[in-house]
Each structure stands twice: as C-alpha cells, then as structure tokens.
C-alpha cells in the first residue's frame, strides 16, 4: 500500500496522538481504519508508552472517504491557520526585541557623541 521509503520521509508519518490533535479524529477512528485495511501502521514506544505510527497521506485519504472532503479541508485549514498565527506571534516578539535593541544602540551612540 505505502510507497517505498514513505515511512522514512520527514513529515510523512505521525503518531495517533498527533493525528488526534491535528485532524480531530479519535483513536477509535484510527483503529477502525486499520482494521478496515485503509491505514497501515507501525507500533512505537517512547519511555514505555506505546503509540501507533501511521502515514499522513493514508490518514488524509481515509478522513476524506469517511468524513468527506469538506471536513478534511476545514481541518487542514484550521491547522494551517494555527501555524500561521503562531509564526506571526513569534515574529512579532522578535521584532519587538530587535526594536528595543535598536533603541538601546541608538541611545548609547548618542551618549558617546556628546
């Protein structure tokens, strides 16, 4: 089902917990897809806590078939919006710190000229 090497590509896999957060699906929904043969998975464990690794492309196809394309677009749009807002916030913080540093440097240069 999966293309050769897809499991090793960055961003191609995600855990069941990440899928729940990003796509708003339950673990039962994912397990239902696995049992139906729509999703491939691999077991994983971090510090003794088990999780399922699934392919993002297969999950998106499964969500589209089960919940509809509109639901998938809405979920992906919301996730992208959260990501953009987070990046804007980080850039605003950096801009503010750079502007403060600029003011400090200008003030110190004015003091040296006197």
Does residue 58 sit in the same domain as residue 96? no
Task: Average the pLDDT over 27-33 and give the result.
Answer: 95
Q: Indicate whether 16 and 61 sit together in one domain.
A: yes
Q: What is the mean pLDDT of residues 88-105?
A: 97
Q: Does any domain span residue 95?
A: yes
For residue 110 the two structure tokens come to 């004015």
**DSSP characters over 12-54:** SEEEHHHHHHHH---HHHHHHHHHTTS--EEEEEETTEEEEEE
Number of domains within the chain: 2
Q: Which residues pair with 33 in a beta bridge?
A: none
Which residues touch 32 (CB under 8 Å, ≥6 apart)? none
For residue 79, the model assigns a pLDDT of 85
Residue 108 structural domain = 77-114
Q: Read off the pLDDT of residues 40-76 as tens digits, 9 standing for 90 and up.
A: 999 989 999 999 999 999 999 999 999 888 988 998 8
Quick one: 58 and 91 in the same domain?
Answer: no
Span 25-52, mean pLDDT? 93
Phi and psi at 2, nearest 5°, equal -80, 145
61 and 81 in a common domain = no
- 47/28 same-domain check: yes
């Amino acid at each position: 089902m999966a293309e050769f090497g897809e499991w090793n590509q960055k961003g191609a896999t995600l855990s069941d917990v990440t899928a729940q957060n990003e796509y708003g699906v339950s673990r039962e929904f994912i397990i239902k897809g696995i049992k139906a043969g729509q999703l491939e998975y691999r077991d994983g464990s971090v510090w003794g806590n088990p999780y399922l690794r699934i392919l993002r492309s297969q999950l998106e196809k499964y969500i589209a078939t089960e919940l509809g394309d509109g639901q998938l677009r809405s979920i992906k749009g919301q996730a992208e919006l959260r990501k953009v807002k987070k990046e804007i916030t980080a850039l605003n913080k950096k801009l503010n710190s750079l502007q403060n540093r600029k003011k400090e440097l200008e003030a110190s240069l004015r003091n040296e000229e006197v």
